[in-house]
Structure 1
Amino acid sequence: MRRMGFERPTEHYDERIETIDEQLCALVKQRKEMSNNNPGFPANERISTWAKEYQFDEAFLNVLFGHLFTEDLYGPVVEPKEFLKNIPVLRSFEKDDLFCMVTFVKQYANASVVSLTIDRDASEDIQGEFVQHDFFELSVEDQKGTDYTCRSDGGGGSGGHMAYSYIVSPSLPDDLSMVTFLFKKEKAPFGSKVAPFEFVITVE
């Protein structure tokens, strides 16, 4: 899934605020470094206090800090190129009514695409009622200590079945027995509240 390009909303820019805007960028960088890139999210009381003190709407500040919270989603994008082959995995994790499986990995010259399916018991779902699905982040480790970058490439489904794909770069080794897949349900889309949960899938 290709990221859409950004279109500047207006040609107008007040050059007098350029220094302030640069300072904002510097402060965001300082914020990341001071928090080890794990800043969390300000409490509602702080948001309310800052909104009154600096004359902002609370909703605006929530959106602002929401974007800062998920800033890692906007890292450099690697698009898979030159398809090589599919590697079947078929390794799973099960807890209660949740069944998670890495089905296969698509190998490309510059990246890999990991496919994950999640199935749950949907017999108690009410027809027409919205069901909040889980969102998982992927991280990958191997025995060589390779620094892998992982990003979600979207997903979808219906009922009790969901399918997700993740782009991993650089490419994973063909021998996946060297690799560990860690899925974490932590950073949900802004506004969602989920309990932390993670699972590991290895290929033996």
Structure 2
Amino acid sequence: MKRMPFEPPTEHYDEHIEAIDEQICNLIKKRKELSKNNPGFPTRQLIADWSIKYNFYEDFLNSVFGHLLNEEIYKPVIEPKGFLKNIPILKSFEKDDVFYSVTYVGQYENASVVHFNIDREDVDDEMPRSFREPTFFNLSIEGNEVDYECRIEGGGGSRGHISYTFIVSPALPDDFSELKLVFKQCKVPFQKPTGFEFVI
């Protein structure tokens, strides 16, 4: 999924605040360094106190700190180019009657595309699907010294089947025997881990 190019919401900019805006950037950088890029999120009480002290809406502050928490999602997107071949993987994991599988990986010159499926029996649950807490999975690659970047590209499906694709860069080797695909379940929208993870 290609990211839409950013368009400034207005052509106006008050140059009197340029120095202040640069200070904001500098403070964000210091915040990132001091927290070792793991700042967490201010408590509800802090948000409430700051909204009163500095005359901001609480939801505005929640939005600001939410964006600061997810800087990685703004990383430049790598689009797979130069298709080479598909490699069958056929690895799986099963828990609580849910079947998780990686069927194949698409190999490109600059990246790999991992195809991840979730299948379950379509049964009538006590809690309707529309009321379930929304979750998704993050992927990481272990097994060699290469630092792989994994980005979920999108997904969809029916009541009993969901499929996701992940773009991995640089491209994975054709031999997967020494690699581990680690899937970690997270809650939306802030990628909070649920504690459920598995390796295939």
Q: Considering the TM-score relative to the shorter chain, is it more than 0.5?
A: yes
Answer with 120-129 or 146-155: which moved more: 120-129
Q: Which runs of 5+ in 2 are unaligned?
A: none
CA deviation digits over 1:123-181, x for unaligned, max 9? 124778454442111111232x1011111111111213211111110000000112111
Task: Report the equivalent of 1:200.
Answer: 199
Work out the percentage of aligned pairs sharing the same amino acid.
58
CA contact (8 A) 2:187 2:194 kept: no
CA deviation digits over 1:57-112, x for unaligned, max 9? 01111111111122111112111000000011111111113221111110000000
Task: Report the equivalent of 1:37.
Answer: 37
**Which residue type is aligned with residue 120 of structure 1?**
R
**Which residue type is aligned with residue 43 of structure 2?**
A
Count of residue pairs the alignment pairs up: 199
CA contact (8 A) 1:137 1:187 kept: no
**Which residue type is aligned with residue 159 of structure 2?**
G
Q: Which runs of 5+ in 1 are unaligned?
A: none
**Which residue type is aligned with residue 170 of structure 2?**
P
Answer with 52-61 or 67-76: which moved more: 67-76
Task: Report the equivalent of 1:148.
Answer: 148
1:59-98 matches, cutoff 5 A: 59-98=59-98
**Which residue type is aligned with residue 4 of structure 1?**
M
Answer with 3-12 or 129-138: which moved more: 129-138
Cα distance in 2, alignment partners of residues 158 and 133 from structure 1: 15
Secondary structure at the counterpart of residue 67 of structure 1: helix
Matched, 1:139 2:140: yes
Give the alignment's TM-score, normalised by structure 1.
Answer: 0.89
Computed over aligned residues only, the root mean square deviation of the Cα atoms, in angstroms, reads 1.9
Change (3 A) 1:121 1:23: farther
Cα distance in 2, alignment partners of residues 121 and 34 from structure 1: 47
Cα distance in 2, alignment partners of residues 127 and 196 from structure 1: 23
C-alpha deviation, 1:193, in angstroms? 7.0
